[in-house]
Structures are given as C-alpha cells and as structure tokens.
Amino acid sequence: MSPRLAWSIVAGVCLGVAGLHVACIDQFGWFRDELYYFACGKHLAWGYVDHPPAVAALAAFASRWLGDSLSALRAPAVLLGAVTTLCSVLLAHRLGARSVGLVLTAAGVSLSPTFLFVFHTLSMNSLEPLLWTAFCCLLLEVGRAPTFGRHALLGLALGLGLLTKHSMAFLAFASVVAWVLAGRGRSLFTRGFALTLGLGFVLVLPHLVWQLHHGLPALEFYANAQSQKMVRMSPLGFVVAQITLAGPGNLPLWLSGLVGLTLVRDDPAARALGLSYLVLLGLLVVLGAKAYYLLPFYPVLFAGGGASLERWAARRALRRLPQMAGVVAVGLGAATTPLALPILEVQRTVAWGRRLGLAPPKAERAELGALPQHFADMFGWPELVRAVARARDALPEGDRASVQVIVTNYGEAGAVDRFGPALGLPRALSPHNSYHGWGTPREDGPVLLVLAKDARLDPNALFERVELVGEHDAEYAMPYERGLRIYSCRGWKRPARVVWAELKRFI
C-alpha cells in the first residue's frame, strides 16, 4: 500500500464515519448530560460543581452559531471525532507508520464502539481524547527535539486538558513517572518544562480561583460519587473492562501498541508513552476510578499499534499481521456499531445486544432497563416536560404565571429548560450539582414538584398542602426516570432557603 493510498483511505474513513453520525444524529433524542451541558452553556462561568468550563463553552458556541437543535449541539462532537482520528494518525506517522499502519490507526479510533458514542454526543469526553492525544504527540516531539515552541504547545495542551476534565492531571502525573522510568527524568528539570508547567497553570488558574471561591465543590462531588454512585471494580474487572471499552476488535491493535512502545530501545520518548499507560492503569485501579477514565489514552496505543504492526510486517513470518488485525478490527467494529450509535430501532437494538452478548461495563449503581444507560438516557425528556405543562395548566388560572418547577436531577432540569420555554414553563429549579446554585425557590407561590415514585423525599414533610396532579412514564428510559409523579405543593413548612441547603446533592 502506497502512502498516498493510505492517506486517501484515512480521509475516507473520517468522512464516512462523520456521515454515519449525521445520518442518525437525532434518531433517539437528547442525552441526559447534553441537556445539562446545554444549560451550563446558558450559565457560562469559569467552573461548575462537577466539571471545568470547556464543555459549557463549546455548548454555548454551538448554540450561538449553529442553533439550539440537537444536531447543532452534536456537530462539534462529530468534528472532534474526525480531528481526533487525524491526530492519532499523525502520531502513528511520527512513530514510523507510513502506509497500512496509518489505516489501522484510523480504523481503531473510528470503529471503537465507545468512541463512536463519545463523538456522537457532546460532553467533556468528546474533547478529552483529542487533548490527550495531542499532549502525547507533543511530549514525543519534546522528548526527541525539545524547543521552547514545542514546550509552549505542550503547556497549552495541558492547560486546555485541565479546563476540559480534571483527569488530565492523571495523564500529566503518569507522564512524569514514565519519563523517569524511561531514563529521561533529568530533562524534567529544565526551563522548557518550567514553561510547560507555567503555561498550563496560568490557563487553569481562573478555574482554580472559581473552585476556591465556591468552597471547592468538585472535591465534595468526587467524594460523594466515589462513596454513593460509582461501582468499585476489582483490578481484574478493571482490566477486562478495557477490552469492551476500547472495542473487542481493537484488542490486537492496542496490545501491539503497548508492547511495541514499551519495548522500543532506541527511542526513550516513545517508550515513555507505553510506560505512561501502565502507570495510568495502576493509578486508576488503586484510586478505584471508573474504567472509562483510561479511554482517552487509547488513540495513542492505536497509533503505536499501527506503527508496530507495520514495522513487524517487514519480517516475512509476520507480514500478514497488519491484515489480520485489520480484519478483526473492522469485522468486530462493524458488529458492535449498533450498540454504540442509534442506527437501529429500539427493539432491534435490544435484540442485537442480546445476540452479541455484549454490554458496556456498569460504572454506576443505578438499576438498568432493557436498553443500556447511554441509550436509555435519550428517552422521555420532551414527554416529561409536556406532562409538567399539563399539570401547570390544571392549576387555577391565577397560579399559573407564578408557578415554580422543582425537579430532582440535572437531566430533568435540563429538559425543562430546553423544552419548557416553548410551553410557557419557567426555568427549572433543582438541588443537583450546578443547578443548586442557579436558583433558590421562592417562599410564595405554588410549586410543581417532580419525584420518582420510590423517592425518599416526602413532599408532605416539606409542604402544608400536597396534591398529586400528574404522572409521567417513558418505556425505554432508565428505571429511575419511569413512573415519575408530579405534585402540586403549597406552603413551605420551613423557610425555603433552609430546605434548599439541606436538599443539595453534589453527586
């Protein structure tokens, strides 16, 4: 395969996958987190309870220039997927790939089921793989030929990564340890790396100031998530989960990348990339982190795998290795695509998942329904808002203009804020994460309170008068979003601001 043909195939893969995203971009509906990030984009700040500001800025940009539709919000995610693929292919080229290795790298990123979903919905995870891959690519260049320009770009990637997701700190820590293990520790104490750290710190400083000014809510959020929400996996379970997350068909590719990078002898900077993965793996297992926290590193291993397989194929006995890896990646990648993108109707999606016997690793303790959570959280939102609007319309005419809507989580609140204005509903109030600080209930006026049927919160403990005025169900939604009840409430038994402080949920 000639280099020109390889690059043509890479371009075709990027365009083809982008076209697939566009074809099913609004097949199911808004994802829960997208509703929240859309709302964050309407409340721009240097920080939020549970994430840095980058994703909110991206959502605000999409809303300002592309519109408020679901396809407009997701357009940046689709573009980020194509750019991440190209960045990983460029890294493979810098690692020595010239033909088939470039194609394998593009196939690995593009056909990974988790990456297909990540680049289909807008979230922090849409931007994170690009910044991690760019950081590693720049670190490779700094290790081979350090210049102040490259160090500055490395600092830029570090700062933007931290403004996207706090887990960028894990990559930075792992990279430092890996450089020491690769025999490059002394080079960390240079003016170039001082520039890198300084620039990264300056970029993230406004976010740190915001966190300090608001009492470090991220620490409370992470502590609560660890103790109340996340499923702690065994070390073996964490490792096995990587196979599913990166894509079963990509196992030969990323294992080849890990072996090829870690064992390379004449390029310490490349060896440090492989060692970084091992350090990250150990660190995240010890911390009990979610299995997908390691996901943004896989484009680096795909690049290393493409370069390694192409290099090994020079030996006659191994010349078929790239083709075999490609067949496995494309075959299993195509088979798992319906589990990552909403290209089939719901019942066929459920049946296909059962037939393959595959399911994403369970990262949270919540009960699951027929659909996996990443699909289930796309159902029921407009219907919920219409149910709230019907409950509002059932109130006495004099109460409708002053009604307040209180919901329990940011998905429901984001849905009310996204679909409610067209129905004349006010902005939602919720004690969940950043919504808690965006508004406090008034003491006067009726309240429409939306609760799950098995909610621990008793509306009669909060209000003098409570009446059930509506219900909402969505067949394919998460179980805790089914059977919701809508109450008309009046007369706070205690000051609303006191109750609101007690209801705060950072998780």
pLDDT of residue 117: 98
Write down the mean pLDDT value for the chain: 95
Strands 447-451 vs 404-406: parallel, antiparallel or unpaired? parallel
Confidence grade of residue 366 (pLDDT, cut at 50, 70, 90): low
Tell me the C-alpha distance between 279 and 394, whole Å: 59
Place of tokens 């700094």: 142
Residue 226 binned pLDDT confidence (cut-offs 50, 70, 90): confident
Kindly tell me if the per-residue pLDDT of 369 is higher than 90. no
Distances (CA, A) of 261 to 272, 308, 460: 8, 8, 62
Please list, in sequence order, all residues whose beta carbon lies within 8 angstroms of the beta carbon of residue 147, skipping any fewer than 6 positions away: 192
Diameter of the chain measured on Cα atoms? 84
Q: What is the pLDDT of residue 400?
A: 93
Confidence band, pLDDT 50/70/90 cuts, at residue 445: confident
Query: How do residues 278-320 score in pLDDT, each as one tens digit?
Result: 999 999 999 989 999 999 999 999 999 999 999 999 888 788 8
pLDDT reported for residue 359: 61
At residue 370 the predicted structure's pLDDT band, cuts being 50, 70 and 90, is confident
Provide the pLDDT confidence category of residue 229 given band limits of 50, 70 and 90. confident
DSSP H helical ranges for 112-216: 113-118, 124-144, 148-164, 168-181, 191-213
pLDDT digits (tens, 9 = 90+) for 124-160: 999 999 999 999 999 999 999 999 999 999 999 999 9
Q: 100 is written with which tokens?
A: 């088939």
Give the angle 361-366-246 at the CA atoms, nearest 5°.
15
pLDDT category at 202 given cuts 50, 70, 90 is very high
| pLDDT value of position 457 | 83
Report whether pLDDT(456) > 70.
yes
Please enumerate in sequence order all residues whose Cβ is within 8 A of that of 10, keeping only pairs 6 or more positions apart, or say none: 85, 86, 89, 102, 103, 106
How much is the pLDDT for 228?
85
Cβ of 186: how many Cβ atoms within 10 Å?
A: 9
Mean pLDDT for 53-73 is: 98
Q: How confident is the model at residue 367 (pLDDT cuts 50, 70, 90)?
A: low
415 touches 36 (CB < 8 A): no
Q: Which tokens belong to 38?
A: 């859309």
Q: Which residues of 406-433 are buried (b: 16+ CB within 10 A; e: fewer)?
A: bbbbbbbbbbbbbbbeeeebbbbbbbbb
Residues whose CB is less than 8 angstroms from the CB of residue 437 and which lie 6 or more positions away in sequence, other chains included: 49, 214
Confidence of residue 365 (pLDDT cuts 50, 70, 90): low
**CA torsion 135→138→142→146, rounded to 10°?**
-120
78-113 per-position pLDDT tens digit: 999 999 999 999 999 999 999 999 999 999 999 999
Task: Copy the structure tokens of residue 45.
Answer: 């700040």
Model confidence at 362, pLDDT cuts 50, 70, 90, reads low
Contact 166, 52 (CB under 8 A): yes
Distance of CA 1 to the CA centre of its chain: 35
pLDDT (0 to 100) of residue 7 = 96
Q: In this structure, what DSSP letter does residue 143 have?
A: H
Give me the amino acid identity at 89: V
d(CA 185, CA 172): 14
Query: What is the CA angle 260-266-268, rounded to 5?
Result: 80
pLDDT (0 to 100) of residue 70: 98
For the cut 60, the answer to whether the pLDDT of residue 420 exceeds it is: yes
The confidence score (pLDDT) of residue 409 equals 95
Say what the pLDDT of residue 368 is. Answer: 62
pTM: 0.95
DSSP per-residue codes, 40-91:
HHTS--S--SSS-SHHHHHHHHHHHHH-SSHHHHHHHHHHHHHHHHHHHHHH
| Least confident among 221-235, 255-269, 325-339, 350-364 | 350-364
pLDDT cut 70: percent of the chain above it: 97
Residue type, 230: M
CA atoms within 13 A on the CB side of 91: 36
For residue 301, count other CB atoms closer than 10 A to its CB.
Answer: 29
Amino acid in the structure at residue 446: P
What pLDDT does 356 receive? 85
Q: What residues are paired with 432 via a beta bridge?
A: 505
How does pLDDT run across 253-275, given as a tens digit for each residue? 999 999 999 999 899 999 999 99
Instruction: Answer whether residue 358 shows pLDDT above 80.
Output: no
Average pLDDT, stretch 485-496?
A: 96
pLDDT tens track for 371-391: 999 999 999 999 999 999 999
Q: With beta carbons less than 8 A apart as the criterion, state whether 507 and 225 touch.
A: yes
